[in-house]
Structure 1
């Protein structure tokens, strides 16, 4: 229903931003990261997710499409609701989440308020399984002509980075283009992911 909101930041509160669009204030539940990118009285643009259920009509907004994608991945995990997803994304960035899933880092997830070890394990298990299924469907070999990149030339770090980006919902074509030009041989994994995300994400 709503793809994004682009207007004036009318109010900012914990986990909440109100965007005034043409005289209508849209209250968006959001993360600490997104709130840090907004300033009251200035223009703000949020990519949105509408949560509708019995007696529920809630709007969530995020500064980047990567953060929105991470939110949707998290709420797709059984037992993880919007509140838990916001808590996880408020303690880190989308690339940190992807790294945690790929490396099985439960501590990064349990650093979020209300996220216990069992939920963290379920998130890692389900999203790793999702990645495995998508990898099987797409091949994730990043081979081909044109602007694609041959994964056989990559180090294991680059392959892990590609998997992490796939966790965030990017296609193999998008990932191969993002990794092109990044120094995968010498940069640490986290920096490879960060630079690749920077090339793909347009706030």
Structure 2
């Protein structure tokens, strides 16, 4: 298993880069967001990788951060989510946004990615909810998203309260994530409501 590669960028397109490491050029599939954030050709870069081995192919997928790498592994563990769909999701959502959508049960957020229909989106949110809720998503947890310090229960309660007020789970999760994580549930709700009122 190749965990990461550090080398000189030889080639770069929207969905693929070639990284030269110790004289070997590795072709790595990447999300467009990663490709655009990489330095210019000829400069050194590091990619956190995932190797996908099938009967006819060995493909390397690369990510800018370990969070993206862990998120990709988590997503592709869901039945029906292959590497292409995993990349498509990471093209339109950050690991933090994915975690918030899963924890809030906002399956509709995933339909923004190419190849993700309503049924698959529901399966992703359902299959990963426990994993994210228990903080088993390899370091991607609600606590990390909010900067740490707040128990996931407080955030979940605040999100649930905002959802019951008519906000979408996604809106509620994003608003809560902006608040100070050390605050009690009531304060989180108050600040989230204030923030959403300003944004409208």
Which TM-score applies when normalising by structure 1?
A: 0.68
Partner residue, 1:165: none
Write the distance in 2 (CA, Å) between the matches of 1:36 and 1:160. Answer: 35
Distance 1:96 1:132, change over 3 A: closer
Give the secondary structure class of the aligned counterpart of 1:114. coil
Q: CA RMSD in A?
A: 3.1
| 1:58-88 superposed Cα distances (whole Å, 9 cap, x missing partner) | 1111000000000000100001000000000
Aligned length: 159
Distance 1:2 1:156, change over 3 A: same
Please list every run of 5 or more consecutive structure 2 residues that lacks an aligned counterpart in the other structure.
160-178, 193-200
Determine if contact 2:62/2:69 at 8 Å carries over to the other structure: yes
1:156 pairs with one of 138, 154, 157: 154
Please list every run of 5 or more consecutive structure 1 residues that lacks an aligned counterpart in the other structure.
143-147, 162-181, 189-203
Partner residue, 2:73: 72
**Larger of the two Rg values belongs to structure:** 2
| 1:18-49 superposed Cα distances (whole Å, 9 cap, x missing partner) | 11112211011111221122122211100111
* Displacement of 1:130: 2.9
Determine if contact 1:102/1:160 at 8 Å carries over to the other structure: no
Partner residue, 1:197: none
* Displacement of 1:14: 2.4
| 1:104-138 superposed Cα distances (whole Å, 9 cap, x missing partner) | 22222000111100000000000013345667xxx
User: Is 1:183 matched up with 2:184?
Assistant: no
Partner residue, 1:16: 16
Write the distance in 2 (CA, Å) between the matches of 1:150 and 1:54. Answer: 45
State the structure with bigger RCO (CA 8 A, min sep 6), 1 or 2: 1
Partner residue, 1:46: 47
Partner residue, 2:173: none
Which TM-score applies when normalising by structure 2?
A: 0.69
